Amino acid sequence: MPSNPPNLGALPMEDFSAPSPDPAQPQERTDLSSSPAESLTPALDLLVNVPMRISVELGRARMPMKNILQLSQGSVIELDKASGEPMTIYINGEMFAYGEAVLVNQERFGVRLTALVNKEDVQRNPREP
């Protein structure tokens, strides 16, 4: 039984037949929306609902398997970061920002972004596999 084709008319399409604007001429803004979310380009609009995995790294530790097998409830694992150092935030495994722990509502923790990383930070401190 043939399936119905997807409704392509519902997707925003760009008209490539229109002449391209002259880069020397200033562009008029035709979008008068007040919110940045309302002025998203069609390509970006397709990405806003894509789920991403966010990870926050408190620190790292290396241990031999013998020590890992001896861990029990209440054991303490010493991390390589000092107390108060910024945590590293990864999105889909890629370094994105640094942050600090905050108490959200007396029972949950959150992370406040303190700095976004740039390419030099990622090259200096790549994530180990």
Q: pLDDT tens across 78-116, in order?
A: 999 888 889 999 999 888 999 998 888 888 889 999 999
What is the pLDDT confidence band of residue 62, given thresholds at 50, 70 and 90? very high
What is the pLDDT confidence band of residue 73, given thresholds at 50, 70 and 90? very high
52-129: which CATH number, 2.60.40.10, 2.30.330.10, 3.30.420.40, 2.40.50.140?
2.30.330.10
* Rg, the chain, Cα only: 24
Residue range 31-57: average pLDDT?
73
Mean pLDDT lowest among 10-24, 44-58, 73-87, 92-106? 10-24
What is the per-residue pLDDT for 21? Answer: 54
What is the pLDDT confidence band of residue 55, given thresholds at 50, 70 and 90? very high
Q: Each residue of 60-96: b (16+ CB within 10 Å) or e?
A: eeeeeeeeeeeeeeeeeeeeeeeeeeebbbbeeeebb
pLDDT of residue 15 exceeding 90, the answer is no
Residue range 28-54: average pLDDT?
67
Using CA atoms, how far apart are residues 90 and 94, in angstroms rounded to an integer? 5
Q: Domain residue spans in the chain?
A: 52-129
What is the per-residue pLDDT for 40? Answer: 60
pLDDT of residue 26 exceeding 60, the answer is no
